[in-house]
Amino acid sequence: MQREKSWDLFVRVFHWSVVLGFALNLAVLDDEGAWHERVGYAVLALALLRILWGFAGPAQARFSAFPPSLSAALAHLGDMARGIVRPHRSHNPLGALMVYNLLACMLALGATGWMMTTDMFWGVDWVEELHEFLANWAIFSVVLHVGGVIAESLIEKRNLVRPMVTGYKDATEKTKD
């Protein structure tokens, strides 16, 4: 079986750093503590760097490699339901939507978290409620993301997590892109 480069080091470090940061803020750190704030700002900085990398990074990391498309995502869902595998060089259409969703969510979480530290928004209920809603949306999205990776791995009969660790995936078929 052939191997091909999939995810560069920056994308892999970004991915697992956001996983760690989000998990720490969700389950370990005190919501009102200084470390929650610091980790939140670190995740925000990572999201901003990922956006820059989406324009300047290698081909698979660029946003142009996985444009958001609801129709393509629905078609991909149909393919998955029928067991049809169409490998993609970068994110598949469902994965692309999830990337944009999670990046937007991390940016909005960072923005609302920052807002809560300002005089203008200190103690303002809607900001805190929005921050909590976004955290819950992120949890829901992560569950969907993990479920999608598991489902796609089973359908494709290959480990989709390994490339996010090693940077290489099995190139069993010609990619659609």
Residues of the chain with pLDDT below 50 are: 173-177
C-alpha 89: how far from its chain's center?
17
Whole-model pTM: value is 0.88
The residue type at 170: D
For residues 97 and 55, give the distance between their C-alpha atoms in angstroms, rounded to a whole number: 17
Burial string for 141-169 (b: 16+ CB within 10 Å, else e) reads ebeebeebbeebeeebebebeebbeeeeb
Domain 3-170 fold is Fumarate Reductase Cytochrome B subunit (1.20.950)
Q: What is the predicted pLDDT for the residue at 176?
A: 47
For residues 4 and 74, give the distance between their C-alpha atoms in angstroms, rounded to a whole number: 27
For residues 113 and 120, give the distance between their C-alpha atoms in angstroms, rounded to a whole number: 13
132: left (phi over 0), alpha (psi -120 to 50) or beta: alpha
Task: Return the domain boundaries, the chain.
Answer: 3-170
